[in-house]
Amino acid sequence: DAMVIQNPRYQVTQFGKPVTLSCSQTLNHNVMYWYQQKSSQAPKLLFHYYDKDFNNEADTPDNFQSRRPNTSFCFLDIRSPGLGDAAMYLCATSRDLSTDTQYFGPGTRLTVL
Amino acid sequence: QKEVEQNSGPLSVPEGAIASLNCTYSDRGSQSFFWYRQYSGKSPELIMFIYSNGDKEDGRFTAQLNKASQYVSLLIRDSQPSDSATYLCAVRSGSGNTGKLIFGQGTTLQVKP
């Protein structure tokens, strides 16, 4: 059974057209993370939520926003996608911040035309 | 200096051989270390984690940690073609309690039949 679900798996958008990526989890984990991974690069943390507390990485562009309306769901909003935002977007969860491992969803491949 | 460094490879080994994947990290206060496997176009999948110095074995996989040398490795015994993937080393920062994982770029492993 899928534990971390991401929708859609593939998303095509136009330059400058807002897009929203979705992540849901059935693990009841407190922490949800969003990573960006470009080809042949390491996943890069954009931000995370610990419960309702939002934590933004210092180098995450303002173009990227996130919402977590409840424990199960977290959204990544890209307000004005540029060509450089084409990447795999990975959602991950962990029970807590301290020692627990992170479990990844299948990812959403974003293409910007 | 990158925070987590891996040789990007590719590392090529024959089927049945031992594959040795290496990772060094810069934050001496790092506490937790993870190996993820990532098939092309897929999301990272947790293989192993290790917290203490020494070896940790799980089936064909052995993780080795040496905090004094700031070095963590993953050995894969009896390598199979299905092990061909990119292996990501991830380190949880020792500063604060953010749960932030720092990923290496990954080592591509090719197991040839």
Band of pLDDT at residue A99, cut at 50, 70 and 90: low
pLDDT value at residue A97? 79
Lowest mean pLDDT among A32-36, A62-66, B27-31, B35-39: B27-31
A vs B: CB pairs below 8 A = 55
Nearest Cα residue to A82 out of A107, A111, A60:
A111
Q: Is there a contact between B43 and A103 if contact means CB atoms under 8 Å apart?
A: no
Q: Is there a contact between A104 and B106 if contact means CB atoms under 8 Å apart?
A: no
Band of pLDDT at residue B30, cut at 50, 70 and 90: confident
Contact list in B for residue A40 (CB cut-off 8 A) is 8, 105-106
Q: Considering only alpha carbons, which residue of chain B is nearest residue A91?
A: B43
Neighbours of A41 (CB within 10 A): 13
User: E strand or H helix at B54, and its extent?
Assistant: strand B54-58
pLDDT value at residue B96? 55
Q: pLDDT at residue B16 above 60?
A: yes
Distance of CA A42 to the CA centre of its chain: 15
Average predicted confidence (pLDDT) for chain B: 92
- Mean pLDDT to the nearest integer, A32-45: 93
Contact by Cβ (8 Å): A67, A23: no
Contact list in A for residue B85 (CB cut-off 8 A) is none
Model pLDDT for residues B69-97, shown as the tens digit of each residue:
999 999 999 999 999 999 999 998 765 55
To which residue do tokens 């949880």 refer?
B92
Taking the CA of residue B9 and the nearest CA in chain A, the distance in Å comes to 11
Contact by Cβ (8 Å): B27, B95: yes
To which residue do tokens 């993870």 refer?
B34
DSSP state of B11: E
DSSP state of B16: T
Query: Would an 8 Å CB–CB cutoff place B50 in contact with chain A?
Result: no
